[in-house]
């Protein structure tokens, strides 16, 4: 998910590359044909999106794993954009998991294997889970419910709606159970370039190695 940011920083490019370098090179790797990264924007003009697409146009791994999706628009409507992105990933692809990655949350260095181990572990220990929270994301089975909630639920901001649903706090998601990693596997680089004027963050917040904010919550399982 990406939107134009003040000053057009390179966060989107850095975030894409943090994942792309971890994706397999070998076509015989079991994940080679099982992953896609959709670079989604709902803005007709997005300078950094255009720059990223041009920069990676001749990159072999980018051509294998990335799909660029740009919808027309010029309005910052995070709820609608998240809803459409989730619906796209759920309905257009045979997805078991959908990872929601904001353009200013790169993967922490060396944490791809931790991410993969956590996915494997929760399959064994929590087969009824709805999500693995290393940032935000969840199983395809809850995707349509999330997409609808984002449009219809008006009492909470976008990120809180996602989190509450994945923790089973809404009736529509009451069967959900969240699993989270002990520490954050993604980190925040857009602390001073938020697309929402009401959101202010410190440079030191939400960084690699931080204890996960939900670590310790009774309704969240930690792997």
CATH superfamily to which 11-222 belongs: Spore Coat Polysaccharide Biosynthesis Protein SpsA; Chain A (3.90.550.10)
pLDDT at 91: 87
The partner residues of 38 in beta bridges, in order of sequence, read 67
Q: Which residue has the higher pLDDT, 192 or 20?
A: 20
The mean per-residue pLDDT over the stretch 174-201 comes to 82
The mean per-residue pLDDT over the stretch 116-141 comes to 76
> For the whole model, what pTM was predicted?
0.89
The mean per-residue pLDDT over the stretch 55-65 comes to 96
Q: Hey, what are 110's tokens?
A: 């060396």
Using alpha carbons, list the distances in angstroms from residue 30 to 26, 38, 94.
9, 20, 16
Domain boundaries, the chain: 11-222
| pLDDT higher than threshold 80 for residue 48 | yes
| CA–CA distance, 188 with 172 (Å, rounded to integer) | 30
Range from 51-60, 178-187, 193-202, 210-219 carrying the lowest mean pLDDT? 193-202
Q: Which residue has the higher pLDDT, 79 or 64?
A: 64
- Residue 222 makes CB contacts below 8 A (sequence gap 6+) with 179, 180, 181, 182, 212, 215
What value, to the nearest 5°, has the Cα angle with vertex 66 and ends 8 and 99? Answer: 85
């Amino acid at each position: 998910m990406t939107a134009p940011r003040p000053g057009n920083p390179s966060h989107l490019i850095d975030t894409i590359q943090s994942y792309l370098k971890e994706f397999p090179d070998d076509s015989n790797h079991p994940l080679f044909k099982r992953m896609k990264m959709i670079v989604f924007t709902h803005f007709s003009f997005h300078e950094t999106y255009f720059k990223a697409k041009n920069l990676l146009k001749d990159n072999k791994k980018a051509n294998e794993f990335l799909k660029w999706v740009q919808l027309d628009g010029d309005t910052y409507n995070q709820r609608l954009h998240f809803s459409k992105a989730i619906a796209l990933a759920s309905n257009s692809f045979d997805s078991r998991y959908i990872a929601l990655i904001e353009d200013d949350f790169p993967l922490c260095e060396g944490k791809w294997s931790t991410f993969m181990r956590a996915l494997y572990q929760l399959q064994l220990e929590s087969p009824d889970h709805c999500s693995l929270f290393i940032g935000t994301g969840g199983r395809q089975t809850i995707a349509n419910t999330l997409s609808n909630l984002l449009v219809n639920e008006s009492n909470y901001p976008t990120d809180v709606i996602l989190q509450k649903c994945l923790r089973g706090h809404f009736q529509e998601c009451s069967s959900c159970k969240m699993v989270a990693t002990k520490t954050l596997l993604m980190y925040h680089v857009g602390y001073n370039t938020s697309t929402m004027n009401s959101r202010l963050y410190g440079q030191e917040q939400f960084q690699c190695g931080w204890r996960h904010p939900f670590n310790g919550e009774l309704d969240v399982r930690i792997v």
